[in-house]
């Protein structure tokens, strides 16, 4: 199995079929760059080298997704006069035996970014089950999404609704994946687009209870947010 990624024409079709690109949910959100030029320069570094020869196991895909996403954001921050702070650690856990975050215990079947300590943790067995059942697209949704939360933390983003925070992290995940593809560091395979969209849909809320403190957005909303970032870039987030 080689690293799998979504192709742009499918995401563009999703937006066309669902609705026109919407305005950002949080207008006060400070963008990483004030102009598209900064993002473009960050994703067009010379000689990115061949696509990564990893992706045979869950662990390899997780490490690849983490490394390439952080490398992408480091370039974006640098091009806009900022400094990206890498995660302090990236930790796998099992069930309820995970690291706490500011006194809150880790829960099973979850992945999370913790601003207290600036780290990402994930339930390995849960992610392995998604990997086995829905394909490695799960990794390239979940890991860039959590790193998107790390980006929000460094920009000191603020949100009234948790749903808006989560959808922007989906959007940032789309931005990062597109940048990684454009840099030639991952290659697409047949079926990747369906795999990625299936994973996004599976992670959506069963109802549009947008006011809930744990709301992440409906399946369609999450797909659209990811597609918006993938197709339209950082400023669309």
Residue 186 token pair:
């991952």
Backbone angles phi, psi at 98, to 5 degrees: -120, 170
Q: How many domains does the chain have?
A: 1
How far apart CA 46 and CA 54 sit, in angstroms, is 22
In a domain, 16, yes or no: yes
Which two structure tokens, joined as six digits, stand for 80? 């806009």
The reply to whether 1 falls in a domain is: no
Q: Is residue 148 part of a domain?
A: yes
pLDDT (tens digit, 0 to 9) for every residue of the chain, 237 residues total?
A: 333 333 333 343 333 222 222 233 332 333 333 223 333 333 333 343 444 444 689 999 999 999 999 999 999 999 999 999 999 999 999 988 999 999 999 999 999 999 999 999 999 999 999 999 888 888 999 999 999 999 999 999 989 999 999 999 999 999 999 999 999 888 766 666 776 777 776 666 666 777 777 778 788 999 999 999 999 999 999
Range of the domain at 37: 8-236
Is residue 3 in a domain?
no
Instruction: Classify each residue of 58-71 as buried b or exposed e, where b means 16 or more C-beta atoms within 10 Å of its C-beta.
Output: bebbbbbbbbbbbb
Res 13: pLDDT: 36
């Amino acid at each position: 199995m080689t690293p799998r990624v979504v192709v742009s024409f499918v995401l563009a079709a999703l937006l066309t079929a669902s609705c026109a690109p919407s305005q950002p949910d949080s207008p006060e959100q400070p963008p990483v760059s004030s102009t598209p030029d900064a993002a473009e320069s960050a994703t067009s570094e010379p000689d990115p080298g061949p696509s990564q020869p990893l992706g045979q196991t869950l662990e390899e895909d997780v490490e690849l997704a983490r490394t390439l996403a952080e490398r992408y954001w480091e370039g974006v921050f640098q091009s806009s006069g900022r400094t990206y702070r890498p995660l302090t650690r990236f930790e796998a856990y099992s069930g309820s035996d995970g690291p706490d975050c500011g006194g809150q215990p880790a829960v099973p079947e979850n992945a999370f970014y913790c601003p207290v300590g600036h780290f990402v943790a994930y339930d390995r067995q849960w992610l392995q089950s998604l990997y086995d059942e829905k394909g490695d697209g799960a990794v390239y949704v979940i890991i860039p999404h959590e790193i998107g939360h790390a980006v929000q933390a460094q920009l000191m983003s603020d949100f009234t609704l948790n749903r808006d925070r989560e959808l922007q992290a989906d959007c940032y995940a789309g931005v990062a994946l597109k940048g990684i593809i454009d840099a030639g560091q991952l290659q697409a395979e047949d079926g990747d687009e369906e795999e990625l969209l299936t994973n996004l849909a599976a992670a959506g809320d069963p109802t549009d209870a947008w006011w809930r403190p744990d709301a992440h957005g409906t399946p369609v909303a999450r797909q659209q947010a990811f597609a918006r970032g993938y197709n339209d870039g950082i400023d669309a987030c």
